[in-house]
Amino acid sequence: MILEVLQFPDPRLRQVAAEIADDAVDDELRALASDMLETMYDEPGIGLAATQVGVPLRLIVMDLNWSEDGQRDPLVLLNPRIVEREGRSVSENEGCLSVPDLRADVTRAERVAVEARTLEGESLRREAEGLESYCFQHEIDHLDGKLFIDRISRMKRDLYVRRRKKQLRLEALEHPAPTT
Ligand code: NI
């Protein structure tokens, strides 16, 4: 099932997500992870956090290697956390499914080590660099209620917020909400 991806400035994007207990992995959570992957491929994107679909749980999905011809390499992580970070780099042209019409360079750690649990209850440690590293940092930020626009200059952010609010006002004029 395709889920609705919340868009800035929806306040639910600012919630800090809760840890998932080991015994909380049930069919509902598995279905959520599966729906999040389907939504991510549909958008299309390479990562999605549960926060972005209005579920404040520490769950992310990622796939950096998928292709239109059906190749899939999904990663589903519960309670992911960055345990090591090293180096500084620029994540060029970063974007977010929840922040429409914006791409920006973001300074991030070049390499991270991430620890998490899988849906099968196994512990997992992953070392990543470059795009995969930036993606981990971006998705884990979502779980803490952070967006990539929090990591760009105030001037760029203010410009974007103004542009976005104007766009939302125009949309509201074009599609007025029913008054009854
Ligand atoms: Ni995002």
Q: What is the pLDDT of residue 15?
A: 98
For the chain, domain boundaries: 11-173
51 alpha carbon to ligand 1 midpoint, in Å?
10
- Decide if pLDDT at 180 tops 70: no
96 alpha carbon to ligand 1 midpoint, in Å?
4
105 alpha carbon to ligand 1 midpoint, in Å?
14
How does pLDDT run across 119-163, given as a tens digit for each residue? 999 999 999 999 999 999 999 999 999 999 999 999 999 999 999
Q: What is the mean pLDDT of residues 156-178?
A: 93
Are 5 and 53 a contacting pair, CB within 8 Å?
yes
Q: What is the mean pLDDT of residues 95-122?
A: 97
Q: What is the pLDDT of residue 8?
A: 97
Q: Name the CATH superfamily, with its identifier, for domain 11-173.
A: Peptide deformylase (3.90.45.10)
Angstrom distance (rounded) from CA 46 to CA 123: 22
- Decide if pLDDT at 108 tops 80: yes
Band of pLDDT at residue 109, cut at 50, 70 and 90: very high
How does pLDDT run across 36-85, given as a tens digit for each residue? 999 999 999 999 999 999 999 999 999 999 998 999 999 999 999 999 99
- Decide if pLDDT at 34 tops 80: yes
- Smallest CA-to-CA distance from 48 within 121, 135, 110 is with 135
List residues with catalytic annotation.
139
- Full-model pTM: 0.95
Full DSSP string of 96-129: ETTEEEEEEEEEEEEEEEEEEE-TTS-EEEEEEE
Angstrom distance (rounded) from CA 110 to CA 152: 17
Pull the structure tokens for residue 115.
Answer: 């620890």
Q: What is the pLDDT of residue 74?
A: 97
